[in-house]
């Protein structure tokens, strides 16, 4: 398996623009997580899905953020409109419940810069 795949790896955009980040989890994994990492706030959980259904979105900072998982192999995180304070690295991770360790597998991240 290729692991968790995220795109784009880098995105530079201007304030007010819409940003869409994409994630393909590992096949067969039933949980998908979106995290945001900044120097100031560390690694924050934004939202997670179980079997494509959002379970907890309490970490989503505000209504400008939305996430979807239309099927088991694809998820998006959208920011509209984007602001400079949204600049961060966004990670997607997946896991399979029922495995011995329940470990999370992370993608390489999408580095977002909002000017």
Partner 1 sequence: LAKTTQPISMDSYEGQEVNITCSHNNIATNDYITWYQQFPSQGPRFIIQGYKTKVTNEVASLFIPADRKSSTLSLPRVSLSDTAVYYCLVGDPGGYQKVTFGTGTKLQVIP
Q: Which positions lie near partner 1, rule CB under 8 A?
A: 4, 33, 35, 42-43, 45, 48, 50, 55-56, 91, 93, 95, 97-109
Looking at the Cβ atoms of 16 and 102, the one nearer to partner 1 is 102
User: What does the alpha-carbon distance between residue 1 and residue 89 come to, in Å, rounded to a whole number?
Assistant: 24
Report in angstroms how near the CB of residue 12 gets to partner 1 at its nearest.
Answer: 16
Looking at the Cβ atoms of 74 and 106, the one nearer to partner 1 is 106
Report in angstroms how near the CB of residue 71 gets to partner 1 at its nearest.
Answer: 21
User: What does the alpha-carbon distance between residue 100 and residue 36 come to, in Å, rounded to a whole number?
Assistant: 26
**91 membership: H or E segment, kind and range:** strand 88-95
Q: How do beta strands 10-13 and 65-71 pair?
A: unpaired
> Counting runs of H as helices and runs of E as strands, what totals does the chain give?
0, 11
Report in angstroms how near the CB of residue 56 gets to partner 1 at its nearest.
Answer: 5
Looking at the Cβ atoms of 15 and 55, the one nearer to partner 1 is 55
């Amino acid at each position: 398996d290729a692991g968790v795949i995220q795109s784009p790896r880098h995105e530079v955009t201007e304030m007010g623009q819409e940003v869409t980040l994409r994630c393909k989890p590992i096949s067969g994994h039933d949980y998908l997580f979106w995290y945001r990492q900044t120097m100031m706030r560390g690694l924050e959980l934004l939202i997670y899905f179980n079997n494509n259904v959002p379970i907890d979105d309490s970490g989503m900072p505000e209504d400008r953020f939305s996430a979807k998982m239309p099927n088991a192999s694809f998820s998006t995180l959208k920011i509209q409109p984007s602001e400079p304070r949204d600049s961060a690295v966004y990670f997607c991770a997946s896991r399979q419940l029922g495995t011995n360790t329940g470990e999370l597998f992370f993608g390489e991240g999408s580095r977002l810069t909002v000017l």
